[in-house]
Amino acid sequence: MTDTDIQAGTTGGLAFAFAHGEALVKAGDPDRYFATLFAPAVFRPHLFALYAFSLTVARTREAVSTPMAGEIRLQWWRDALQGEARGDVKANPVAAALDDAIVKRRLGRQPFVDLIDARVFDLYDDPMPRVNDLEGYCGETASALIRLASLVLCDGAEPGGAAAAGHAGVAYGITGLLRALPWHARDGQVYLPADILKTYGVTREDVVTGRGGPGLVHACADLRALARRHLAAYEGARGTIVPAARAAFLPVALVEPYLAVMERPGYDPLNTQIEIPRWRRLWHLWRASRRAS
């Protein structure tokens, strides 16, 4: 069942919308789900609303058969955010929960539109052109979510840490794309920057056909180093984050453990599944939450 198959307005209103969003995040984005459990309970429904929206938009390519159909679906979300969509937008439980979060926590709507615009890239098979483009993509998706979650946790007040959110999101986003590389490659998507691939003599076809090779291993090592540079910059800026907002950054505690798994002997970027046992993820998140308190 998809988010468009359920009408929030006729099956319990916001309570249903919030429960639906939480269930979506639990199933599709478990790291953010577990991290949210360490946030104050009063803010969790709106945090899940943010993440459910992000997950729904990120899955647009999976839900359509052509890029044009995906463009139309993303345009519906733009219209919904800007009050221009036809019909009852709140009949969509993800949209209903998100709208409540935006209004109650006094969030701006433009960051959500920017996130949608960034996700247009997902609909096509073109490789990411340059490293700067990858950083920008992660900034408008993962970094934006951290910033918005910080605002929720501060009830719309300024949470500080804008630069910290930027670096944290890029580190988290790059790590997530490296983890998802096997699935993206099989689907014809290449998020690895073309300038890095060219440095090591790797083509898009090498990636999507599964050839890989030493050049791809080196390219992924460069991206891990880039993620760590942003992680270090985030650590240097942590002091600018107000205490109430720190729970928004908890998923970043999983970046280094995931990168470490990629550096074990035998790592194959196109075939190795990068996972950490749930108990270990929870331990990293718990330890980070203690540090944040």
**pLDDT(226) > 60:** yes
Distance of CA 86 to the CA centre of its chain: 28
User: What was the pLDDT predicted at 86?
Assistant: 66
β-partners of residue 160 are 241
User: What was the pLDDT predicted at 140?
Assistant: 97
pLDDT digits (tens, 9 = 90+) for 269-283: 999 999 999 999 999
Cβ atoms 259, 246 nearer than 8 A? no
User: What was the pLDDT predicted at 245?
Assistant: 96
Q: Which domains does the chain have, with CATH numbers?
A: 1-123 (1.10.600.10), 125-276+287-291 (1.10.600.10)
Angle at the Cα of 170 from the Cα atoms of 205 and 233, rounded to 5 degrees:
130
User: What was the pLDDT predicted at 261?
Assistant: 97
β-partners of residue 241 are 160
At 263, is the pLDDT very low, low, confident or very high (cuts 50, 70, 90)?
A: very high
User: What was the pLDDT predicted at 88?
Assistant: 74
Q: Please list, in sequence order, all residues whose beta carbon lies within 8 angstroms of the beta carbon of residue 150, skipping any fewer than 6 positions away.
A: 159, 161, 165, 241, 245, 248, 249
**pLDDT(254) > 60:** yes
At 11, is the pLDDT very low, low, confident or very high (cuts 50, 70, 90)?
A: very low
Task: State phi, psi for 241 to the nearest 5 degrees.
Answer: -90, 130
pLDDT digits (tens, 9 = 90+) for 63-120: 999 999 999 999 999 999 988 766 677 889 999 999 999 999 999 999 999 999 999 9
State the DSSP string of the chain.
Answer: --GGG--GGGTTHHHHHHHHHHHHHHHH-HHHHHHHTTS-GGGHHHHHHHHHHHHHHHTHHHH-SSHHHHHHHHHHHHHHHTT--SS-GGGSHHHHHHHHHHHHTT--SHHHHHHHHHHGGGGS-PPP--HHHHHHHHIIIIIHHHHHHHHHHTTTS--B-HHHHHHHHHHHHHHHHHHTHHHHHHTT---S-HHHHHHTT--HHHHHTT---HHHHHHHHHHHHHHHHHHHHHHHHGGGB-GGGGGGGGGGGGHHHHHHHHTSTT--TTT------HHHHHHHHHHHHHHH-
At 9, is the pLDDT very low, low, confident or very high (cuts 50, 70, 90)?
A: very low
Task: State phi, psi for 272 to the nearest 5 degrees.
Answer: -90, 125
**pLDDT(8) > 70:** no
Map 220-282 to HEC letters. HHHHHHHHHHHHHHHHHHHHHECHHHHHHHHHHHHHHHHHHHHCCCCCCCCCCCCCCCHHHHH
- Can you give the pTM of this predicted structure? 0.93
User: What was the pLDDT predicted at 293?
Assistant: 60
User: What was the pLDDT predicted at 12?
Assistant: 61
**How many percent of the chain have pLDDT more than 70?**
94
**pLDDT(4) > 80:** no
pLDDT digits (tens, 9 = 90+) for 146-178: 999 999 999 999 999 999 999 999 999 999 999
User: What was the pLDDT predicted at 212?
Assistant: 85
**pLDDT(211) > 80:** yes
